[in-house]
Copies of this chain bind each other. A is one copy, B any other.
């Protein structure tokens, strides 16, 4: 940590001391040198998975209704979810943190507490980063994960017609959580506890990702990603219908899908909220990201093992060769994935 620029309330040393309490320098086989030098030094057994994301106040979270602990948790959880989405085991992360001058010691302790508790749980160690004073709270994290075995890295590519499309986790719950909390703040937690929890403290699906990676080592590996922008935007990426050039190019002209998502299988809070607000629960499920479910496809003969091994594993359809995605016999091209905090502009 270097180059800090702080005002009167909390000095750089205060912040680093607080951080040191919540992020002990754990000995870790894959970490030869942790923070404190110009670079950390990582030595993974095999290849190293890397992902980096921004987590910004008023874009990705609100300080008005999320607690410091929840913000700290989610900032890291979103990144760990990318490691899970590749079937890798969390190893280390760097933290670039911009703190507004309004942040006080108590808040900072809770923030590092929330992040540190998640880090502990997944044995992921903080190896470096940077601090600065900013107008709004901002977090930029880069995570590193270890590939668990030869061929164990799961990419988005490789879906084939006839493959089963699956989800691990819930759909639409965090989207409902966002809408009720944007309207009523923490008061919304009384009526919609699971939806708010899905929004505030999403749990990365690390075990499921590792299980899928292991399953892939004995046969054709599943294609896998996490749902961060909603199925409507993320499924086309899995199928090679959109996304960055590298994915498109390697996947050919792109496949389609037939999804079957009965409203009765959605979380009860999603169904209830939609009924009260005149929305279509299946559309909300397709549009909702942010609770970081895993989305993937695999050969049908893998299903028995995956069902047995992975809680919340859920078949939602099949890959086709039509280039079009249908859900419950309706084309979903018209539905747009989630634009954070633009709730009021969105139709059902």
Contact = CB atoms under 8 A, between A and B. Distances in A.
Given A245-B20, A339-B5, A38 B140 contact: no
B153 A41 contact: yes
Contacts of A95: 52
Task: Say which size band chain A's interface belongs to.
Answer: 35 or more
A94 interface: yes
Which residue of A37, A92, A225, A246 has the most chain B CB atoms within 10 A of its CB atom? Answer: A37
A324 interface: no
A229 B128 CA distance: 17
Contact of A156 (B37, B48, B245): B37
Interface in A72-99: 82-83, 85-86, 88, 92, 94-96, 98
Contacts of A128: 50-52
A82 B2 CA distance: 11
Q: How many copies does the complex hold?
A: 2
B43 A50 contact: no
A53 B225 CA distance: 27
A50 B228 contact: no
B2 A38 contact: no
A150 to B, nearest CB: 12
Nearest to A242: B13
B94 A52 contact: yes
A42 B52 contact: no
A20 to B, nearest CB: 7
Interface in A241-258: 243-247
B39 A2 contact: no
Contacts of A56: 98, 132, 134
Contact of A40 (B34, B51, B53, B130): B51
A36 interface: yes
Contact of A42 (B34, B40, B50, B135): B50
Contact of A5 (B1, B3, B59, B243): B59
20 contacts: A2-B229, A3-B53, A3-B54, A3-B229, A33-B153, A34-B246, A36-B247, A37-B86, A38-B51, A38-B86, A39-B51, A41-B86, A43-B46, A50-B92, A51-B94, A52-B94, A56-B134, A59-B132, A59-B133, A94-B142
- Top 4 A-B pairs ranked by shortest CB distance? A140-B140, A36-B244, A52-B94, A39-B49
